[in-house]
Amino acid sequence: MSASWLDGFRDPALAQVQIARLEQLAAELAGLPETADSAGPAESTEMTGLSETAQSAESTKLEPAAQVSAAPRPLRLMEVCGTHTVAIARAGLRSILPANLQLISGPGCPVCVTANADIDRIIALTRIPNLTVLSFGDMIRVPGSSTSLQQRKAEGAAVEVVYSPLDALRLAAEQPERQFVFVGVGFETTTPLIAACIERARAQNLHNFSVLAAHKQVPSALAALACDPQVQLDALILPGHVSTILGLAPYAFVAARYNIPGVVTGFEPIDLLQGLLALLEQLLAMRRDGASAHIGNAYRRAVMDEGNPTARSAIERVFMPADAVWRGLGTIADSGYRLRPEFADFDASCRFELDVEPTVEPRGCQCGEVLRGILPPNRCRLFGRACTPQNPIGPCMVSSEGSCAAYYRYQVED
């Protein structure tokens, strides 16, 4: 995609028009009564798949007629995707928003939401003789309970950064006498490629290649956030990359059950502003006309409503849903992936007996609250002091998609 073609999505004149319209819609919303829910349909009262915190919130949820706020508060729009958080910070969008709009960051960074216990499992692999751990770069520097992959590499452990799981297959084929374990961390965007690599490894009889799966499913986390009374979600800026795989249907329950609107957006300033406009238009129709929420697509040049069936099929052939622990959100049923029994030979958790140290959370780190959207990154007590990109305490300051790293790099003020 050429830079000249993208210039249209960075046009300052068009952005000014969008900002003016954004201010107009925000002013109209400010003049309407605020309700936490409207008379939209509810799918069911079943709470399968939610974390314990989310289930508790769901069980005490008030009827829509009773949920009227005593005092106005800013509309809280969550960007679920970490790449959106970075793009918003880089464009300075928070600084130009009307006072009654608030953008909050969510659990959209796969490295950041990986629980400390899972990081400790990955690090435990480095203590197995004749084994090389292969990982994407961001995961290398994330601290576990007592060390990191980077520190283990400095101590002589076999840890290598790869840019694709295909690199892991190549290394395994070149060194059949050595075991290679690829760290499978990511959302639905990276999971299909890892699934395809596992199928290729089986076809090539690569018995020295396996995957330690710590993948996550984005829609499951949205249910937990929608039920969390501290988050107080009004709308969702839905992830562009993940949606190229999922399409729109997996998000429909958020609108149907919780009457929370969502819009898939791209990553350029015009994309982001268009997504915000679409959300405000929905919210205005809901408050003024009693309309129900729905899921929109403001990124049609990349995302088809039906997503990518081929990629989803690859996931389903190799993986099956599994409970997963999310940093900040706790255990969410069926929100992760594990390898199907027929691929157990390529499951590192089955192949190797891991001696995992007791999990200890980083002292003072508030990444969990940041990932839930209840604490802006720059209000963490360690932000910019003990915790910096050069000396990260938590994963949100490590990853290139981490909200703390984005706030630090672009000096975002909340």
Nearest to 85 by CA among 223, 300, 272, 302: 272
All CATH 3.40.50.11740 domain ranges in the chain, comma separated: 72-359
Indicate whether this model's pTM tops 0.85.
yes
Q: With residue 324 as reference, give the H or E element that holds it.
A: strand 319-326
What CATH number is given for 72-359 in this structure? 3.40.50.11740
Q: What is the dihedral of CA 74, 79, 83, 85, to 10 degrees?
A: 20
Question: 69-94 burial string, b = 16+ CB within 10 Å, else e?
Answer: eeeeebbbbbbbbbbbbbbbbebebb
Buried b (16+ CB within 10 A) or exposed e, 24-45: ebbeebeeeebbbbbebeeeee
The predicted pLDDT at position 193 comes to 95
> What sign results for the dihedral spanned by CA atoms 22, 26, 29, 31?
negative
What is the DSSP track for 14-54? Answer: HHHHHHHHHHHHHHHHHTS--BS--S-----S--TT--HHH
Distance between CA 290 and CA 273 in Å, rounded?
24
Record the tokens describing residue 71, joined without a space: 């005092």
Give the integer Cα–Cα distance in Å for 411 and 413: 6
Give the distance, in angstroms, between the CA of residue 39 and the centroid of all CA atoms in the same chain: 29
Closest to 273 (Cα-Cα) out of 13, 10, 15:
15
Question: 300 Cβ partners below 8 Å, 6+ apart?
Answer: none
Report whether 285 contacts 25 (CB < 8 A).
Answer: no
Residue 2, number of CB atoms within 10 A of its CB:
6
Q: How many CB atoms lie within 10 A of CB 166?
A: 15
Digit-by-digit pLDDT tens for the chain (414 residues) are 556 777 889 899 999 999 999 999 999 999 887 654 443 334 433 333 444 444 443 433 333 333 444 447 899 999 999 999 999 999 999 999 999 999 999 999 999 999 999 999 999 999 999 999 999 988 999 999 999 999 999 999 999 999 988 999 999 999 999 999 999 999 999 999 999 999 999 999 999 999 999 999 999 999 999 999 999 999 999 999 999 999 999 999 999 999 999 999 999 999 999 999 999 999 999 999 999 999 999 999 999 999 999 999 999 999 999 999 999 999 999 999 999 999 999 999 999 999 999 999 989 999 999 999 999 999 999 999 999 999 999 999 999 899 999 999 999 987
